[in-house]
Structure 1
Amino acid sequence: MSEQAGTGVLGGDRSGAVGEVTLVGGGPGSDELLTVAGARALERADVVLFDRLAPHGSLTTLAPGALLIDVGKTPGHHPVSQKEIEALIVRHALSGANVVRLKGGDPYVFGRGSEEVLACHAAGVPVTVIPGVTSAIAVPAAAGIPLTHRGMTRLFTVVSGHAPLSDTELEHLAGLGGTIVVLMGIGTLPSITQGLVRFGADARLPVAIIERGFSATQTTTVGTLASIVFDAAAAKVSSPAVLVIGEVVRLAFDGDAEASVLLARAEALADLA
């Protein structure tokens, strides 16, 4: 955990009055996708606890009077546990501070926001949630991929790839059809793709992996269920990334010759498999 002071008074010395907590969804990482309500909450903050995927590069400007506390986690490395984060939120609020918990994406989409809200309720701390733009929708859009398309698919499912899916979950996903969006799925990519095929999904179903959405180094790797593990290894893909599985992946590359060639190559490999 690291702390960085803004220019204002730190903490919340307010003669014993309990402060308040605002959970702010920061969107997929770009300052421009932070909501107006989120920006206003940061402007009023005394303390901001932020994640690595939240838009934190401009926090000294967005929250000029706040104590900034980095509680970000990376895969396999959690320097501040979830319980410690909750304790920090509550402690600063009970001291009278106006606390903002800035999270990447939306606080209620795999963000453990509900756990932090429950911790505030248990401590008698007022808490408000400001929704954010979820990467599950925004990052595919940044790569030109719609999650639904008339005549192609009318549903999408968002799943966490943090841990392997069970056979029951894979069977339901394969049978449901539509578009599948996987967050935090690089580590479980082989089990997800092979599992879907095992339960009846077409091996030639298109797959896209979008790395570092909305950054200057955003990259998309295209393949099929049969080829994407090899394509991902060749491209050396890494987190953070969003996986999109479904026919809608084809729509992003209409008119893009290079990407169309990649998908055709992936489908040819699937024919040989």
Structure 2
Amino acid sequence: MNHTLPPITGRCTLVGAGPGDPELLTLKAVKAIQAATVLLVDDLVNDAVLQAYARPGARIVHVGKRGGCKSTPQAFIERLMITAVREGETVVRLKGGDPFIFGRGGEEVEHLREAGIECTVVNGITAGLAAVTSLGVPLTHRDHAQGVVFVTGHAKTGAGAAEDPTDWRALAATAHNARLTLVIYMGVSGAGHIERELLHGLPGDTPVAVVQHASLPHQRHLVTTLQGLQARIADAGLASPAVIVVGDVLQGLAAAALPVDAGRFGT
């Protein structure tokens, strides 16, 4: 009996929708969304993106994955992608930010390839970049930061996972010695632990910014120092989705002592 699978006629693209502002989509992302017959969409993707660019009649499936909330199982999402492609659909897996920066895009590409499906990836502006840009601050600066580290504050959980796989003390020492900016994703809920660990390698007066809902009209932020980070986050009532930025590139903002603010990206 011949069990050969039929030829694959569909295709799949992983698309980064950026941090939220629809105007920050790349042209390539817009074209991919417009061509899609099936869109598998993350929670953090702005509905305005779909309203503006999804084709009439496209099947839109919301497959939310947000910390602290009930999430669609990753294995289920991957099965949906593979099934739709095998049915001949033009599939777009639409993710907030960039698919390859804490978006589990690497895992999805691996599973697609195991199923004999090659996919295209379209980069998006990641929240860590948009967050500091919205404050008029760079991630690197010849006088203050020779590089940047993107790190998650919410590590893999479950069987076999380390209790805290990020060595924050070593990271802090490296950041201090090599003059690096730290951009911490999904770190608000663990801010107290991160603060205590980073203080083993960074001065307490190291400037820190926390940006919630980067690039959106309801963006809020605070500027503080490493020592007192958790307390300031609690006082301000900031929560996920938010990015924590640590480093001397923020010295100008820290000197201005900007308060918790709200405002549109780029203004």
- Give the TM-score range, shorter chain: 0.7 to 0.9
In 2, Cα distance between the equivalents of 1:113 and 1:52?
Answer: 15
Q: Write the mapping of 1:107-122 to structure 2, written as runs, cut at 5 A.
A: 107-122=99-114
Identity %: 36
Q: Runs of 4+ in structure 1 displaced over 6 angstroms?
A: none
Kindly indicate whether the alpha-carbon contact (under 8 Å) linking 2:18 and 2:97 is maintained by their aligned counterparts in 1. Answer: yes
Q: What's the offset of the Cα at 1:77?
A: 2.2
Kindly indicate whether the alpha-carbon contact (under 8 Å) linking 1:222 and 1:228 is maintained by their aligned counterparts in 2. Answer: no
Query: TM-score w.r.t. structure 1 length?
Result: 0.83
Q: Write the mapping of 1:37-56 to structure 2, written as runs, cut at 5 A.
A: 37-56=28-47
1:152-209 Cα shifts (integer Å, max 9, x gaps): 1111111100137557342233333221110010011111111011x23101111110
In 2, Cα distance between the equivalents of 1:126 and 1:42?
Answer: 18
Query: How many residues end up aligned between the 2 structures?
Result: 244
In 2, Cα distance between the equivalents of 1:240 and 1:101?
Answer: 20
Query: TM-score w.r.t. structure 2 length?
Result: 0.85
Q: Structure 2: any 5+ residue segments left out of the alignment?
A: 1-5, 156-162, 261-267
Relative to structure 1, is the Cα distance of residues 112 and 75 closer, same or farther in structure 2, using a 3 angstrom cutoff? same
Q: Write the mapping of 1:194-213 to structure 2, written as runs, cut at 5 A.
A: 194-197=196-199, 199-213=200-214
Q: Structure 1: any 5+ residue segments left out of the alignment?
A: 1-14, 263-273
Would you say 1:93 and 2:92 are equivalent positions? no
Relative to structure 1, is the Cα distance of residues 193 and 32 closer, same or farther in structure 2, using a 3 angstrom cutoff? same
Q: Write the mapping of 1:230-245 to structure 2, written as runs, cut at 5 A.
A: 230-245=231-246
Give the equivalent residue in structure 1 for 2:248.
Answer: 247
SS of residue in 1 equivalent to 2:196: helix
Q: Write the mapping of 1:129-208 to structure 2, written as runs, cut at 5 A.
A: 129-163=121-155, 165-166=164-165, 168-177=167-176, 178-197=180-199, 199-208=200-209
In 2, Cα distance between the equivalents of 1:34 and 1:216?
Answer: 16
Relative to structure 1, is the Cα distance of residues 62 and 180 closer, same or farther in structure 2, using a 3 angstrom cutoff? same
Give the equivalent residue in structure 2 for 1:5.
Answer: none
Q: What's the offset of the Cα at 1:150?
A: 1.8
In 2, Cα distance between the equivalents of 1:228 and 1:137?
Answer: 20
Which amino acid letter does the alignment assign opposite residue 186 of structure 1? V
Structure with more helix by fraction:
1
SS of residue in 2 equivalent to 1:250: helix
In 2, Cα distance between the equivalents of 1:165 and 1:221?
Answer: 26
Kindly indicate whether the alpha-carbon contact (under 8 Å) linking 1:27 and 1:55 is maintained by their aligned counterparts in 2. Answer: no
In 2, Cα distance between the equivalents of 1:218 and 1:61?
Answer: 21
In 1, Cα distance between the equivalents of 2:112 and 2:91?
Answer: 11
Q: What's the offset of the Cα at 1:247?
A: 1.2
Which amino acid letter does the alignment assign opposite residue 244 of structure 1? V
Relative to structure 1, is the Cα distance of residues 61 and 127 closer, same or farther in structure 2, using a 3 angstrom cutoff? same
Kindly indicate whether the alpha-carbon contact (under 8 Å) linking 1:140 and 1:242 is maintained by their aligned counterparts in 2. Answer: no
Equivalent of 1:59 in 46, 50, 54: 50
Give the equivalent residue in structure 2 for 1:266.
Answer: none
Kindly indicate whether the alpha-carbon contact (under 8 Å) linking 2:175 and 2:181 is maintained by their aligned counterparts in 1. Answer: no
1:212-231 Cα shifts (integer Å, max 9, x gaps): 11111111111111111111
Kindly indicate whether the alpha-carbon contact (under 8 Å) linking 1:144 and 1:252 is maintained by their aligned counterparts in 2. Answer: no
In 1, Cα distance between the equivalents of 2:49 and 2:150?
Answer: 30
Q: What's the offset of the Cα at 1:50?
A: 0.7
**Between 244-253 and 211-220, the greater mean CA deviation after superposition:** 244-253
Give the equivalent residue in structure 2 for 1:76.
Answer: 68
